[in-house]
Structure 1
Amino acid sequence: MTTPVLQAEGLTKTWGGVRAVDGVSFALAPGEMLALIGPNGAGKSTLFNLLNGQVRADAGRVRLAGDDVTGLPPRKLWRRGVGRTFQITATFASLSVAENVRLALLSHHRRVFSFLRPSGDLFAEEAKELLDRVGMAAQLQKACGVLAYGDLKRVELAMALANRPRLLLMDEPTAGMAPEARQALMAQTAAIAQAEKIAVLFTEHDMDVVFGHAARVMVLDRGRLIAEGAPEAVRADPRVRESYLGKQG
């Protein structure tokens, strides 16, 4: 049996007496696209931050490929192959597309200070290859500050792939994008995930994106998982329709 890339075991986090995440457990397989949805305040961001090491759990464990990584900070999880994209893109506007990706590569190879002094074309080819994979090779010399928002999301995806992740966490990856660009980005992500056996967990408010690209869907409400399974089964679940989907239309 294949070891899950990610296992959450009873994760719990309380803020001011409110259980933002309440005993959440799930597993994520290599190459799988798993969507996490739920109403505002359901605890999705807190769960993401627990998985990424930005917040310490009150209880529970996080395992990466079988290894206990509970409580490790984001930089150490990055070293172990956890990539992340954010709802608001995290790129340097004044640097070129290629330079942003090279910075991520320099970090992965522990050479980040090389960027502050002449370093020739260190990792330039690798940066170009990553940008080619996300459809941005033709714009590698452009400053990120002049890019369309959808293109910025592609650059951020290339940066997240720089450490050759086995797990990719994507927080509302299509927020702010036009509908066609949303579908294109997630189709591209799914193709990369399948080809390289990268496990992907993403949050998303666009249900067309969720049900069009997720192999499995989890629904969080008031910190608890209320449903998990194939997209159509989750869509038909009366608890999900009452707590979330019914409020979308």
Structure 2
Amino acid sequence: MAEPLLRVESLSKAYGGVQAVKDVSFTLVPGEILALIGPNGAGKSTCFNMVNGQIEPSGGRIFIDGQDTAGMSPRQIWRLGVGRTFQVAAVFSSMTVRENVQMALLSHENRTNVFWRQARQMESGKADEILELIGMASHADRPCAEMAYGDVKRLELAIALANDPKLLLMDEPAAGMAPRERVELMALTGRIARERNIGVLFTEHDMDVVFAHADRLMVLNRGELIAEGDPEEVRHNPQVRATYLGEGLVYDQAKTKVTT
């Protein structure tokens, strides 16, 4: 088995007397797509943001590619080769699609202090390669303000890939998208992750997306990890069914759909 790209050991976070995350441990290997799910208030976002450096853990350790991230800022963690997308996509709406990717590339290379007239000529070829990879080459010159939300989410993925990440963190990537767009985005993410050997950790409420695209699932409840395994194992786990998915859950594999 491959060496872990991400290793989390006994991660915990307390806010006063409230234990948001309690003694959570897991690993993620290159090329693997791992979903972190659970009911509202389970501690998913807290756990996710500790990995990204936005929240400081109360206890435990996080290693990315063997390096302890204790005390690192989100930007320092990004520099380790960590890409990030957000629940609400954030792009520069006044710029074109290509210019957004160019800015991400220049940031990765610490060249954001150049004049914009010069910057517009830099990294355009590499930006176009990334846009080709995600199927948006024909949109390169479009202003982002004119784009549909599904295309903005795909552009956000392109921006995350500009960092040439080893690890990709995706916070509810399907949020706000139409059902078909959700499937297409996650299928695209999975293909790129396997081609480039990128580890993907994502949180998601859409169970269609989770069960169709995750290699492995972790389920949190009240800050504790209650189940971990492949989709089939988690789907039939009695504790998961009782606390999150529901006792009457039936998963229709043929339709890639969760029903009750």
Instruction: Pick the TM interval, shorter chain.
Output: over 0.9
Instruction: Give, as a single letter, the amino acid of the residue that structure 2 aligns with 1:24.
Output: V
Match for 1:222: what amino acid?
Answer: R
Structure 1 match to 2:189:
189
Task: Confirm or deny: 8 A CA contact 1:10 1:59 kept in the other structure.
Answer: yes
Q: What 5-or-longer segments of structure 1 have no aligned partner?
A: none
In 1, distance between residues paired with 2:185 and 2:192? 11
Q: CA separation in 2, counterparts of 1:192 and 1:174? A: 17
1:244 partner SS:
helix
Q: Distance in 2 between matches of 1:67 and 1:91?
A: 30
Amino acid aligned to 2:161: L
The whole-number CA distance in structure 2 between the counterparts of 1:152 and 1:167 is 21
- Kept after mapping to 2: 8 A contact 1:166/1:199: yes
**1:155 counterpart letter in structure 2:** L
Q: Cα distance 1:120–1:210, how it changes in 2: closer, same or farther (>3 A)?
A: closer
Partner of 2:232: 232
Specify the SS of the correspondent of 1:89.
coil
Task: Say whether the 8 Å CA contact 1:4–1:30 is kept in structure 2.
Answer: yes
Distance 1:239 1:65, change over 3 A: same
1:31 equivalent in alignment to 2:31: yes
- The alpha-carbon deviation at position 71 of structure 1 amounts to 2.6
Aligned counterparts of 1:115 and 1:231: Cα–Cα separation in 2 = 49
Code of the residue aligned with 1:246 in structure 2: it is: G
Per-residue deviation at 1:2? 2.5
Q: CA deviation at 1:92?
A: 1.0
Contact 2:99–2:120 (Cα < 8 Å) also in 1 = no
After superposition, the C-alpha distances for 1:57-109 in whole angstroms (9 at most, x for unaligned) are: 11100001111112311111111100000000010111111111111101100
Map 1:52-131 to 2 at 5 A. 52-114=52-114, 116-131=116-131
**Cα distance change, pair 115–18 in 1 and its aligned pair in 2 (3 A):** farther
Cα deviation for residue 121 of structure 1 reads: 1.5
Aligned position for 2:252: none
**Contact (CA 8 Å) 1:35, 1:203: kept in 2 or not?**
yes
Contact kept? 1:104, 1:162, Cα under 8 Å: yes
What is the match of residue 42 of structure 1? 42
Using the TM superposition, give the Cα deviation of residue 16 of structure 1 relative to its aligned residue in structure 2, in angstroms. 2.9
Q: 1:97 to 1:85 in 2, by over 3 A?
A: same
Q: How much has 1:246 moved relative to structure 2?
A: 0.9
Q: Distance in 1 between matches of 2:157 and 2:141?
A: 17
Identity of aligned residues (%): 57
- The secondary structure found in structure 1 opposite 2:50 is helix
Q: 1:187 to 1:120 in 2, by over 3 A?
A: closer
1:167 and 2:177 equivalent?
Answer: no
For residue 177 of structure 2, what is the aligned residue in structure 1? 177
Tell me how far 1:120 sits from its aligned partner.
4.9
Any idea what the Cα deviations from partners look like across 1:158-188, whole Å, max 9, x if unmatched? 0000111000000000101111110010000
- Note the residue ranges of structure 2 that are not aligned, 5 or more in a row: 248-258
Note the aligned Cα RMSD (angstroms): 1.3
Instruction: Please give the per-residue CA displacement for 1:22-64, whole angstroms capped at 9, x wherever unaligned.
Output: 1110000000000010000111111111000001111100001
Verify the 8 A CA contact 1:57 1:71 in the aligned structure 2.
no
The normalised TM-score by structure 2 is 0.93
Q: Is the 8 A contact 1:3 1:66 kept in 2?
A: no
- TM-score normalised over the length of structure 1: 0.97
Aligned partners of 2:119, 2:222: CA distance in 1, in Å? Answer: 50
